[in-house]
Amino acid sequence: MFSQDTVSKITAAAQDAKIEPAALLAVAELESGGRAYALVNGRREPLIRFEAHYFDRRLDADRRAAAREQGLAAPVAGAVPNPKTQAARWRMLERAAAIDAKAAYESTSWGLGQVMGAHWAWLDYPDVDALVAEARSGVAGQVRLMLRYIGKAGLADALRRRDWPAFARSYNGPGYRQNAYDRKLAACYARLA
């Protein structure tokens, strides 16, 4: 579970956003498994998830062929499994970035809120590197990124009302019911409140 320092940072950011801390903590815990970072090559890094189908769509034909040959891209979601460990996921991201860094970073979800890098322009970052820098700056940066997404997507009110299905539909996607995302959020909130 989160360290007290992480809980304090999420709590402070939630209070600034006028969101009940337990609600924001529930989202962060569900998305990150209660871990704010992983130790990768001796450095604290945010948790990531590389999406090979996003990467596939962002590449020109030559780079797409190279990425597919290396097992880093596929046209269908889930065709390239994510490694189990964060260290292996970061190695996968490094290999993808060697083909096309911008496309690789856009194809990765970042930090406590698992916000996709592809949202950088919509979230008013100057480029994907700025979004990645925010996520890599520490827990406070990860929370700012998550709250920026929640605010831009108009989800703060759903969190304030604890309307888990409304939040889940937008945050986790239309298949949220299949993975019980709304019920998991509600249970996580109940435990933390």
Share of the chain above pLDDT 70, in %: 100
Residue 179's pLDDT is 92
> Would the pLDDT of 84 be above 90?
yes
Q: What are phi and psi of 50, to 5 degrees?
A: -90, 130
> Which pLDDT tens digit goes with each residue over 36-81?
999 999 999 999 999 999 999 999 999 999 999 999 999 999 999 9
Cα 193 to Cα 188: distance, rounded to the nearest angstrom: 9
pTM of the predicted model, to two decimals? Answer: 0.95
Q: In what order do the strands lie in the sheet with 115-116?
A: 48-50, 108-110, 115-116
